[in-house]
Chains A and B, each alone.
Chain A
Amino acid sequence: MEKKHQHIILKTNDLAIGYQSKKSQTLVASNINIALRQGELVGLVGGNGIGKSTLLRTLTHVQNELKGSVFINGKNIKHYPALELAKVMSLVLTEQMMSKNLSVFELVALGRQPYTNWVGNLSENDIDMVNKAINQTNILDLKHKKCFELSDGQLQKVMIARALAQDTDLIILDEPTSHLDMYHKAYILKLLQKLAKETHKTILFSSHEIDLAIQLCDTLIVMSENNVVSNTPCNLISKGTFNTLFPKDLIAFDELTGSFRVKK
């Protein structure tokens, strides 16, 4: 808790997440109390179907919480008008965007939409921000390519650049490393770490790459069957939290290497 002096960007208060339909309520997880600080890289890990996506959807106000509240910069997320929220939080989603006929520059420039005028003209400041985002994500050589010419790894970098161009305190990424090879998984997460440090933005991502997340993240949020824990990777390892992640019949967490091993 030595980082307490740092500004808290996102905070949840006894948050309960799940799905509400007319007849019933499906609780996915409850008693979630997390706080994300400025400039932190935060990983969200947990097994399939444990509710990572539900949590992200709740934190980004795509779906409503069942109980408790989400605060961004001390203000309840419910009280943000859509355009204001777009200026504090940007997203990188798993879904494919619709038009791949956009050039990389055009796509990144769409990140400036909350700031542009009614017809979407870019000011000089907007263009500077777009170029900065392109430089920060090392995609200068792709700038004039069309999106359908890009590989999955390149496209992911472009989508991150778009989120950067949106110039928000918080960037949330939903499984940014899926579909990528091992090198690019490491590359993307390393890039996120660099960006969090350099830009002092808070970056939250969900991932299945637990070993990489342990090595790179400042904080990890671990979702397991019974609770949601948030702490530094080292503390989580010493508390044995990672052993609660999966059923124990196939794999076990090796504290020395910080990764999972298949049981012989």
Chain B
Amino acid sequence: MPNSNTYKFSFLALGTLLILCFFANISLGSVYIPFKDVFYSLIGTTTEQETWQNIIQNYRLPKAITAILVGSGLGISGLLMQTLFRNPLAGPFVLGISSGASLGVALVILGSSVFGGIFATFLISKWSIVLAASLGSFLVLLAVLMVSIKVRDTMAILIIGLMFASITAAIVSVLSYFGSAQQLQQYIFWGFGSLGNLSWDELAIFFVIYCFGIAICLASIKSLNTLLLGENYAKSLGLNIKRSRLAIIISTSLLAGTITAFTGPIAFIGLAIPHLTRQVFNTSNHKILLPAVFLFGAIVMLVCDSIAQVPNSDYTLPINAITSLVGAPVVIWLLVRKRKMVF
């Protein structure tokens, strides 16, 4: 089995690129800050202007870290889904997980008026949005999986995932109809996606859940590799399919659910990153793919965020639009180059 040594150079290059992108991302923004001062504020020494340090430490640094967590988390959950569903076009977004999270958040933001009073203020807190999004994504994924056990055709599963997405979208529409203008605006802005809204406290919560998701995913490496043979072979190798499947689902819903909760539904990263990774790392071994997807996802997300920020201007484009603009062409390109679809 080609071990990590075979890909040492690629990993080294990607790691360096990630660090470069990380600093580039922090250096770029609506306010021009000289690189020297960016560095100073990162290591905690005083900068020429007090505000610069504030911008770097309380806005750009958490945003860059969020970008790394979001990109890697979505990429990894996409990889998990592609292996589990044996479908190269699976991903958290395609299978309706993100829509599930959207539904959960919509219920909390738009439905909070129904509960009213002090309860509503609790409901609207960051924690409840995280919980609602995780729960929503978990339920939708579970529903898709239950159906997927009945129908063995993977294309049917994808269509069923899309149907679930439609159903959740419909429910969200109904909720929006009854919601107030202020709630609607809040929900729509959540839907644009944003990496910059997280305080350090929220980032800490995000990071803890992210680590749980990653830990479960790491524990699933062996079963993921076994699943490459197909479920019947995996069973004949003594793999407990039901338990492995549940672990993969929980990992994915923790990652995709919380990411969607904190940053909004971010399109296509989960689908496109694993494929991008396979272009460089020509292997199916998850021991290599997982760290590679982590690096690729983080890099692409940092780049997308830098673009969305439109350096030295006051505009911030919706991150969701930027990732789609990058992601969709990749998917089209992959479909055209059919031979590379073996995975």
Tell me if chain B binds chain A: yes
A contact residues vs B (CB 8 Å cutoff): 60, 62, 81-87, 89-91, 93, 95-103, 105-107, 109-111, 113-114, 116, 118-120, 122, 148, 166
Nearest B residue to A82 via CB reads B238
Q: Is B332 an interface residue (CB 8 A)?
A: no
Q: Is B227 an interface residue (CB 8 A)?
A: yes
Q: Check if B236 sits within 8 Å of A110, measured CB to CB.
A: no
5 sampled A-B residue pairs with Cβ under 8 A: A82-B235, A99-B343, A113-B225, A113-B239, A119-B287
Q: Check if B238 sits within 8 Å of A87, measured CB to CB.
A: yes
Q: Check if B222 sits within 8 Å of A148, measured CB to CB.
A: no
Residues 133-172 of chain B: 1 if any A CB is under 8 Å from the residue's CB, otherwise 0?
Answer: 0000000000000000000000000000000000000000
Q: Check if A95 sits within 8 Å of B222, measured CB to CB.
A: no
Q: Check if B235 sits within 8 Å of A114, measured CB to CB.
A: no
| Stretch from B64-72, B103-111, B122-130, B277-285 contacting the other chain | B277-285
Q: Check if A98 sits within 8 Å of B1, measured CB to CB.
A: no
Within 8 A of A (CB), among B71-116: 86
Within 8 A of A (CB), among B216-231: 218-219, 221-222, 225-230
Give the contacting residue for B232; candidates A93, A103, A118; CB below 8 A: A93
Main secondary structure of the interface of B (DSSP, over half): loop
Q: Check if B230 sits within 8 Å of A98, measured CB to CB.
A: yes
Nearest A residue to B228 via CB reads A99
Q: Check if B232 sits within 8 Å of A110, measured CB to CB.
A: no
The distance in angstroms between the C-alpha atoms of A106 and B3, with both chains bound, is 11
Q: Check if B225 sits within 8 Å of A110, measured CB to CB.
A: yes
Q: Check if A82 sits within 8 Å of B283, measured CB to CB.
A: no
Q: Check if A113 sits within 8 Å of B237, measured CB to CB.
A: yes
Known: A95-B233, A101-B283, A122-B1. 16 other contacts (CB 8 A): A91-B232, A96-B230, A97-B230, A97-B233, A98-B227, A98-B229, A101-B278, A102-B285, A106-B284, A110-B225, A113-B222, A119-B218, A119-B221, A119-B222, A120-B226, A148-B342
Q: Check if A106 sits within 8 Å of B1, measured CB to CB.
A: yes
With A98-B86, A101-B284 given, is the CB distance from A91 to B238 under 8 Å?
Answer: no
With A82-B235, A91-B233 given, is the CB distance from A120 to B343 under 8 Å?
Answer: no
B contact residues vs A (CB 8 Å cutoff): 1-2, 86, 218-219, 221-222, 225-230, 232-233, 235-240, 278, 282-285, 287, 342-343
Q: Check if A60 sits within 8 Å of B283, measured CB to CB.
A: no
Query: Nearest Cβ in chain B — how far from A149, in angstroms?
Result: 10
Max chain A CB contacts within 10 Å: which of B219, B221, B225, B233?
B233
The distance in angstroms between the C-alpha atoms of A191 and B321, with both chains bound, is 57
The distance in angstroms between the C-alpha atoms of A98 and B86, with both chains bound, is 7
Query: Nearest Cβ in chain B — how far from A214, in angstroms?
Result: 28
Give the contacting residue for A100; candidates B218, B239, B342; CB below 8 A: B342
Query: Nearest Cβ in chain B — how far from A205, in angstroms?
Result: 15
The distance in angstroms between the C-alpha atoms of A87 and B237, with both chains bound, is 8
Instruction: List the A side residues contacting B238 at CB < 8 Å.
Output: 81-87, 113-114
Instruction: List the B side residues contacting A113 at CB < 8 Å.
Output: 222, 225-226, 237-239
Give the contacting residue for A114; candidates B233, B237, B283, B287; CB below 8 A: B237
Instruction: List the A side residues contacting B284 at CB < 8 Å.
Output: 99, 101-102, 106
Query: Nearest Cβ in chain A — how far from B3, in angstroms?
Result: 9
